[in-house]
Structure 1
Amino acid sequence: MSHLFSPYSIADLHLKNRIVIAPMCQYSAENGDATDWHLIHLGHLALSGAGLLIIEATAVEAEGRITPADLGLWSDDNESALRRVLSAVRRHSSMPIAIQLAHAGRKASSHLPWDGGQLILPEQGGWRPQAPSAIAHLADEPAPLALDNAGLERVLQAFVAAAQRAHRLGIDAIELHAAHGYLLHQFLSPLANTRDDQYGGSLENRMRFPLAVFDAVRAVVPVTMPVGVRLSATDWVETGWDVEQSVCFAQALRERGCSYMHVSSGGVSPLQNIPLGPGYQVSLAETMRRETGLPTIAVGLITEAEPAEAIIAEGRADLVALARGMLFDPRWPWHAAVTLGAEVSAPPQYWRSQPRGLSRLFGDASIGQR
């Protein structure tokens, strides 16, 4: 039996296999509202046979968007638009759906990636980003506004409200985005956080606000609803956030009821030196899993079935996530099942697609033709 296609449970959330569709920004929302693009995008991914689908980074307030076209969940209109999309998807797929709640911090107010991705100044129609400290992400950018106590409370309550909206929408799990150089990661990293109050300086202080956000979200959704964290385990900069600090943070999260860790890296500094290669972040996930005991998702240039199978079989992670690879091949789980001799779920409308000699690919599926 394939390890990759074995079932797995995160708390009370039961997954048919260990394949996760990682959150991938689409930059296709209107005032934070999901559009027909999201219906098409999430709809076809929900037919892929993966065990879990995580909706892209979803801003908890308008100022927390990476770009003006980011998906959001701060308003009734946002909630209504996403409900329309989810209702349609769920009519045709039973795949569990999670959502990643995020705030971009100093990386907010940017052009779309395909338009250059640079900062949009307020006089150009953007807004002034907010961050732990008045330190720009790039040297030639104006500094963001350092959040004061009132701003911190506003952001925390925005995470809480978005989590409550996610629960009302029937979403199965919440993932808090503390990776890739966005706001919660900015608090953790000494490269972005030079505060001299209770939220800066020592590791304990730098963890304080992200932990407070986690506690507040965990408190307002049912105990049966998993709440996990996406974490950059290292900044890939010598003086930045590192694996040892990540382990301390994850241990603190576990004590607070964190359901899983989704382990990534980098994003907070343009000085990062990332050793890219197949599965380059898996060792980070392996360390986090070993040192914390939390269910762990590995991600990062995992593109082939056999390496994904080995990651699970060798106990290096509990699940594997694909992002760009799933965009390139939305039926990746089907093809991995063929390679590994496993079965995968598929809608009956597609049963006729399985190649001859693979009658068990879709389990007990069979179809006749008049």
Structure 2
Amino acid sequence: MGSISFRSPSIQRARDAPYFTPANNAGAAVNPEDPSTPTLFRPLQIRGVTLKNRVIVAPMCTYSAESDPESPAVGALTDFHIAHLGHLAAKGAGLILIEATSVQPNGRISPNDSGLWQEGTDSAQFKGLRRVVDFAHSQGAKIGIQLAHAGRKASTVSPWLAYLAKQRGIKADESVGGWPSNVVGPSGGEEQIWAPGDQFWPPRELKTAEVEELVQDFARSADLAAKAGVDVIEIHGAHGYLIHQFLSPVTNRRTDKYGGSFENRTRLLCEVATAIRAVIPKEMPLFLRISATDWLENQTAAEQTGSWDMPSSIQLAKMLPDLGVDFLDVSSGGNHQNQRIEPHTNYQIDLAGEIRREIHAANQNTLVGAVGFITEAESARDIVQGAEEAQATEAMLAGQEPKADAVLMARQFLREPEWVLTAAKKLGVQISVPCQFARGLL
């Protein structure tokens, strides 16, 4: 067991905070250059941003944004998000990714989802985001935002309401702020409903001009996020949401420039990444989350069309440097009801490791993140150990090839918000702690 080190409390006010809080930097290793410090607690440089450790809070939908469609604050982050995300910032996460935030009103999963489509820096959406960003920074954390569009999975009610009704999903109609006539996808019709039964709306097919407009909306939201002070932008291209729907031939049956060939199906993603890269600062990292596979190999659903699979993801990964994408966040599934997944502790970590090996074999340096069933300090340590060049030789000699450059966790932070602090203690790493919590942690 290690000990948590607490350096002398700073009496300096955190920069730009409109209230007093010490300039905390919880979760940072006291001696990051010490050879005994595991890679997990070594800094990670991505363009002009340095993460103090390699623990990232993955985006988690909380369905707690303002939902009244008549309110000027619809889609805005609230005090709940400051309490929720701010607590994770105070407890030492290196980077926190704000939940899927829609670039268009109809791109929300539910009426309670967050959005960033309102023009200008005086909007409630911008101000809500800025408050969350400012607090995270006051605690020494970096913070990013995941920009998204739900596509055919949109206009459902919050999952706890679905749970109460004992259904997987409940359609959100106009009476609860939904938009049933404007649920969209790359392809439309009853056969493109996400799940059977009376649970999701059939999407309508986006017109080519609407897809082109969507690209500009992603760029506008990214520009606003950058002006709000976020450190990182992530594009959501996973879990059966709109960009993933375009990537996969199972859900993309288009015949225009956005459908058919691999080049056409990846066109939307490429255009979105290029447009975002053009409007955000050069030093700002751009992340991409993908589902590495639809998990439809040898399934009837994909017999005629094929599916998005690991060879597709590897091919896409090798395109990322030219798109200005710095970090690939590897998840899987979520695009078809007939997916066949046999989850085990390392099932997605192995996918990330395979993609990372292919990236390095191509002499590229896109960073890779692993996510899924990461709960223990030791497993998180082992996933990234040796990812830093200074420790790579030692790791290879020990027969321990890193699977990723950083780990992402979501549910574990709901169960254990102080995970970074307890992980450091288990691994024997001395780290800084927030001044306000020090008496309880020493």
Partner of 2:258: 199
Partner of 1:367: none
Alignment check: 8 A CA contact 1:279 1:299 kept: no
Partner of 2:185: 131
Alignment check: 8 A CA contact 2:98 2:146 kept: yes
Q: 2:159 aligns with which of 89, 113, 128?
A: 113
Alignment check: 8 A CA contact 1:131 1:147 kept: yes
Cα distance between partner residues in 2 of 1:24 and 1:123: 26
Normalising by structure 2, what TM-score? 0.78
Cα distance between partner residues in 2 of 1:166 and 1:63: 19
Normalising by structure 1, what TM-score? 0.92
Q: Which consecutive unaligned segments of at least 5 residues does structure 2 have? A: 1-36, 67-73, 163-168, 360-364, 386-400
Q: How does 1:1-370 map to 2 (within 5 A)?
A: 1-30=37-66, 31-75=74-118, 76-91=123-138, 93-116=139-162, 117-122=169-174, 125-127=177-179, 128-134=182-188, 135-140=192-197, 141-238=200-297, 239=302, 240-292=307-359, 293-313=365-385, 314-355=401-442
Q: Which moved more, 1:233-242 or 1:179-188?
A: 233-242
**C-alpha deviations, 1:98-142, integer Å up to 9, x for none?**
110000011010110111132324576421311100122123344
Cα distance between partner residues in 2 of 1:345 and 1:262: 27
Indicate the SS of the match to 2:330. Answer: strand
**C-alpha deviations, 1:65-120, integer Å up to 9, x for none?**
000000111112211222233333433x1111111000001101011011113232
Cα distance between partner residues in 2 of 1:119 and 1:233: 28
Alignment check: 8 A CA contact 1:187 1:207 kept: yes
Aligned-residue CA RMSD (Å) = 1.4
Cα distance between partner residues in 2 of 1:77 and 1:51: 27
Q: Which amino acid aligns with 1:80?
A: K
Cα distance between partner residues in 2 of 1:276 and 1:48: 29
Cα distance between partner residues in 2 of 1:129 and 1:190: 19
Q: Which amino acid aligns with 1:205?
A: N
Cα distance between partner residues in 2 of 1:217 and 1:121: 32
Quick check: which has more Rg, 1 or 2? Answer: 2
Q: Which moved more, 1:46-55 or 1:78-87?
A: 78-87
**C-alpha deviations, 1:159-184, integer Å up to 9, x for none?**
01100101101100100000011000
Cα distance between partner residues in 1 of 2:320 and 2:267: 11
Q: Which amino acid aligns with 2:113?
A: D
Alignment check: 8 A CA contact 2:56 2:94 kept: yes
Alignment check: 8 A CA contact 2:107 2:149 kept: yes
The higher-RCO structure (CA 8 Å, 6+ apart) is 2
Q: Which consecutive unaligned segments of at least 5 residues does structure 1 have? A: 356-370
- Cα deviation, residue 326, structure 1: 0.8
Cα distance between partner residues in 1 of 2:176 and 2:376: 43
CA shift in 2, pair 1:132/1:51, >3 Å: same
Cα distance between partner residues in 2 of 1:40 and 1:349: 15
Q: Which amino acid aligns with 1:132?
A: P
Identity score, percent: 46
